[in-house]
C-alpha cells in the first residue's frame, strides 16, 4: 500500500509525484525525495513546497515535513534560507544520461549547412500573429486538426506558393505538417502503400532524409551529382527525391535540359518526383528559379518548410500533392500523428496574409547575400580556394586546394569553436567522392557580429593547413 501525492498547490506550477509506504513517514519521505533527486526527477534549483502545504497534501504532521527538510539540508540534498524557502541543491552524483544518447551540442560558431540566423527571427511580428491566432481561433480549430491541415493555412500557403514560387496549387492540394522530415515520411509511406519500392536520391544530401525513406520501406538508389545537378540518365526507380533549385549541399541547380528530362521520365514511366524546395526563395544573382512542380503538377510532390525562411522552432512544413495522392496522403498521416499544431498553422496564415513573411524573406535575402560576398572576400587571397555552386541559399561549397585535406581543415576550425562539415560527409556510407576536397559552409546561422570572426577562422585554417606532398 502506498500514499501517492502528485499535486502541491502551495507553489503555483509545481507538481511532484512521490510514493510513500504506509508507516515510517519521516524516513520514507526522506528516501522518496533523495530518490527523486538522484534519478533527476527533481532537478537542482527546483523549489519545494512550503512545509505547511506539503503536510496537508501528504496527510502528515507539519513537524514531519520540517524534520525531513532539515535532515536533507544537513545531508546536502537540499538548500534552505529563512524567508526564501527550500530548494534542491546541486548533486554531482545525479543520474547520468542513458548510454547511447548523445548530448545536443551546438558549436559556438555554427557554420553547418542550411541553418538560418535565429537572431533575426521577427519576434514582434510573429508574437502578434500568435496572439491574433489565439484570440480568433474557433472552438473547432482548438481541437485536433484535419489530417492535411487547417483550411485557413492551406489557403494562405496556396496563394503564397503560386505567387512566389510559381507552384500550381489550390488549397485542396496543400498539406501542412510539422516540418520537411514529417512530410517526407508521410509522402514516402503514401507512395509505398501505392506500390512504390525504389527511390533515387542525389548522392550528396542529408543522411536523415535517406533514413526516413528507408524507414518507409523504399530502397535507396544514389544518383551522381555533377555541375548540372543530378544525372537523370542514371534514373531507374519508382520515385526520385531532388533539390532542383539549389542542390543540397553542392549548390548547383538542375539544368534546364535535366529538368525537362526528369519530367519526361515521370510522365513516361508513371514515376513521382519529390521536389525539396528547401531554400528556393533565397537566390542572389538574378531572379529565383521557379519550382519544378509547375512543369508537371500531377507527377510532382512539392515540399517546402519554414525552417529555413523563419526558424526551425516554428515546426512547419507544407506539401503540394497531385490529386491522385490526396487520399493516400491523408491515410498515411494518421498513424504518424496529426501534424502541426492548429494555433501555429493559424499564426503562419496570419503572418503570410499580412505580408510579414515576404518582408522577412526579403530582409534575409539581402543579409545572406552580403554574407556570401564577405566569405568570398575572406578567401580571395588563398590560391586554389574558391566558392562553388549557385549564389543562393544559406550555404555554399568552398573548394579547397587539391593538396589540402578537408578533414584537417574541419578539425582545425573545430578547435577554434567553428562547426562545419566536409563535402564528403554528405555522401552515403561506402560511396566514394568524385570531387576534390571541399567544405560545406553555412553562412546563415552566426549572429551578424560574429560572421567576420567565423570566416576568418575558416580562411586561416585553409591558409595554414598542412600540404600533402605530391598532390596539387
Residue with cell 551529382: 225
Residues 9 and 126: their CA atoms lie apart, in Å, by 34
What are the grid coordinates assigned to 342, written together? 492548429
pLDDT at 1: 39
> Is the Cβ–Cβ distance between 104 and 299 less than 8 Å?
no
**Beta bridge partners of residue 396, listed in sequence order:** 441
- Give CA angle at 159 (157, 163), nearest 5°: 115
Please tell me what DSSP assigns to residue 392: B
Residues 374 and 398: their CA atoms lie apart, in Å, by 13
Q: How many CB atoms lie within 10 A of CB 468?
A: 14
pLDDT at 3: 45
Please tell me what DSSP assigns to residue 47: B
> Is the Cβ–Cβ distance between 379 and 385 less than 8 Å?
yes
Is this prediction's pTM over 0.85? no
> Is the Cβ–Cβ distance between 187 and 329 less than 8 Å?
yes
**Beta bridge partners of residue 175, listed in sequence order:** 319
The per-type count for the chain, helices as H runs and strands as E runs, is 14, 19
> Is the Cβ–Cβ distance between 174 and 297 less than 8 Å?
no
Sorted by sequence, the CB contacts under 8 Å of residue 160 that are 6+ apart come out as: 352, 357
pLDDT at 12: 43
3-state DSSP call for residue 193?
A: helix
121-355: which CATH architecture? 3-Layer(aba) Sandwich (3.40)
Q: What is the pLDDT of residues 131-181, one digit of tens each?
A: 999 999 999 999 999 999 999 999 999 999 999 999 999 999 999 999 999
Query: Is 359-463 a domain of CATH 3.90.1150.10?
Result: yes
List, edge to edge, every strand of the sheet that includes 386-388.
386-388, 395-399, 438-442, 421-422
Sorted by sequence, the CB contacts under 8 Å of residue 43 that are 6+ apart come out as: 88
pLDDT at 9: 36
In a 10 Å sphere around its CB, with 0-12 CB exposed, 13-18 middle and 19+ buried, how is residue 386 labelled? middle
CB-based burial, 89-111: b 16+ in 10 Å, e otherwise: bebeeeeeeeeeeeeeeebebbb
What residue ranges do the domains of the chain occupy? 2-88, 121-355, 359-463
Q: What is the pLDDT of residues 228-276, one digit of tens each?
A: 999 999 999 999 999 999 999 999 999 999 999 999 999 999 999 999 9
Q: Give the E-state strand segments of 350-429 in sequence order.
A: 386-388, 395-399, 418-419, 421-422
pLDDT at 341: 93
Pairing of strands 198-202, 239-242: parallel
Residues 184 and 249: their CA atoms lie apart, in Å, by 18
pLDDT at 258: 98
Same fold for the pair 2-88 and 359-463: no
What are the grid coordinates assigned to 69, written together? 527538510
> Is the Cβ–Cβ distance between 71 and 30 less than 8 Å?
yes
Q: Helix, strand, coil % (nearest 5) of the chain?
A: 45, 15, 40
CA nearest neighbour of 393 among 438, 328, 440: 440
pLDDT at 4: 44
Residues 32 and 27: their CA atoms lie apart, in Å, by 8
pLDDT at 13: 39
pLDDT at 261: 98
Please tell me what DSSP assigns to residue 41: S
Written as tens digits, the pLDDT of the chain (472 aa) is 344 444 433 344 355 666 766 656 788 888 888 888 888 888 888 888 888 887 777 778 888 888 888 888 888 898 887 766 888 888 655 555 555 555 566 778 899 999 999 999 999 999 999 999 999 999 999 999 999 999 999 999 999 999 999 999 999 999 999 999 999 999 999 999 999 999 999 999 999 999 999 999 999 999 999 999 999 999 999 999 999 999 999 999 999 999 999 999 999 999 999 999 999 899 887 777 889 999 999 999 999 999 999 999 999 999 999 999 999 999 999 999 888 999 999 999 999 999 999 999 999 999 999 999 999 999 999 999 999 988 899 999 999 999 999 999 999 999 889 999 999 999 999 898 889 999 999 999 998 899 999 999 999 999 999 887 655 5
Q: Give the up-direction half-sphere exposure of residue 191: CA atoms within 13 A in the CB hemisphere.
A: 33
2-88: which CATH architecture? Orthogonal Bundle (1.10)
> Is the Cβ–Cβ distance between 444 and 111 less than 8 Å?
no
3-state DSSP call for residue 351?
A: helix
CA nearest neighbour of 304 among 277, 280, 322: 277
pLDDT at 96: 54
3-class secondary structure for 234-284? HCCCCEEEECCCCCCCCCCCCCHHHHHHHHHHHHHHCCEEEEECCCCCCEC
Amino acid at each position: 500500500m502506498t500514499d501517492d501525492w502528485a499535486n502541491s498547490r502551495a507553489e503555483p506550477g509545481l507538481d511532484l509525484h512521490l510514493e510513500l509506504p504506509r508507516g515510517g513517514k519521516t524516513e520514507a519521505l526522506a528516501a522518496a525525495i533523495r530518490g527523486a533527486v538522484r534519478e533527476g526527477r527533481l532537478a537542482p534549483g527546483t523549489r519545494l513546497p512550503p512545509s505547511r502545504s506539503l503536510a496537508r497534501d501528504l496527510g502528515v504532521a507539519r513537524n514531519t515535513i520540517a524534520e525531513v527538510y532539515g535532515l536533507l539540508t544537513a545531508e546536502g540534498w537540499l538548500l534552505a534560507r529563512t524567508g526564501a524557502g527550500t530548494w534542491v541543491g546541486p548533486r554531482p552524483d545525479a543520474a547520468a544520461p542513458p548510454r547511447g544518447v548523445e548530448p545536443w551540442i551546438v558549436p559556438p560558431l555554427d557554420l553547418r549547412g542550411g541553418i538560418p540566423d535565429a537572431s533575426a527571427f521577427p519576434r514582434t511580428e510573429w508574437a502578434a500573429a500568435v496572439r491574433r491566432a489565439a484570440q480568433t481561433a474557433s472552438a473547432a480549430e482548438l481541437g485536433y486538426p484535419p489530417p492535411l491541415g487547417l483550411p485557413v493555412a492551406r489557403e494562405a500557403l496556396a496563394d503564397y506558393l503560386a505567387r512566389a514560387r510559381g507552384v500550381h496549387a489550390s488549397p485542396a492540394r496543400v498539406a501542412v505538417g510539422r516540418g520537411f522530415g514529417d512530410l517526407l515520411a508521410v509522402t514516402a509511406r503514401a507512395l509505398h502503400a501505392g506500390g512504390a519500392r525504389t527511390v533515387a536520391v542525389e548522392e550528396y544530401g542529408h543522411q536523415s532524409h535517406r533514413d526516413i525513406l528507408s524507414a518507409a520501406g523504399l530502397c535507396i538508389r544514389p544518383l551522381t551529382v555533377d555541375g548540372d545537378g543530378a544525372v537523370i540518365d542514371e534514373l531507374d526507380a519508382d520515385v526520385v527525391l531532388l533539390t532542383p533549385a539549389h542542390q543540397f549541399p553542392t549548390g548547383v541547380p538542375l539544368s534546364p535540359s535535366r529538368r525537362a528530362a526528369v519530367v519526361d521520365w515521370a510522365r513516361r514511366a508513371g514515376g513521382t518526383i519529390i521536389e525539396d524546395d528547401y531554400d528556393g526563395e533565397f537566390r542572389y544573382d538574378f531572379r529565383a528559379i521557379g519550382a519544378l512542380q509547375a512543369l508537371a503538377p500531377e507527377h510532382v510532390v512539392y515540399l517546402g518548410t519554414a525552417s529555413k525562411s523563419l526558424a526551425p522552432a516554428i515546426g512547419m512544413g507544407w506539401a503540394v500533392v497531385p490529386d491522385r495522392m490526396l487520399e493516400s496522403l491523408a491515410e498515411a498521416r494518421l498513424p504518424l500523428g496529426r501534424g502541426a499544431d492548429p494555433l501555429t498553422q493559424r499564426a503562419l496564415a496570419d503572418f503570410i496574409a499580412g505580408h510579414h513573411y515576404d518582408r522577412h524573406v526579403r530582409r534575409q535575402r539581402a543579409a545572406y547575400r552580403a554574407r556570401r560576398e564577405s566569405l568570398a572576400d575572406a578567401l580571395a587571397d588563398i590560391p586554389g580556394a574558391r566558392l562553388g555552386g549557385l549564389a543562393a541559399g544559406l550555404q555554399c561549397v568552398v573548394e579547397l586546394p587539391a593538396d589540402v585535406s578537408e578533414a584537417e581543415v574541419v578539425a582545425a576550425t573545430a578547435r577554434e569553436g567553428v562547426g562545419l562539415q566536409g563535402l564528403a560527409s554528405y555522401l552515403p556510407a561506402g560511396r566514394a567522392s568524385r570531387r576534390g576536397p571541399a567544405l560545406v559552409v553555412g553562412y546563415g546561422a552566426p549572429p551578424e557580429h560574429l560572421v567576420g570572426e567565423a570566416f576568418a577562422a575558416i580562411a586561416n585554417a585553409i591558409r595554414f593547413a598542412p600540404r600533402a606532398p605530391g598532390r596539387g
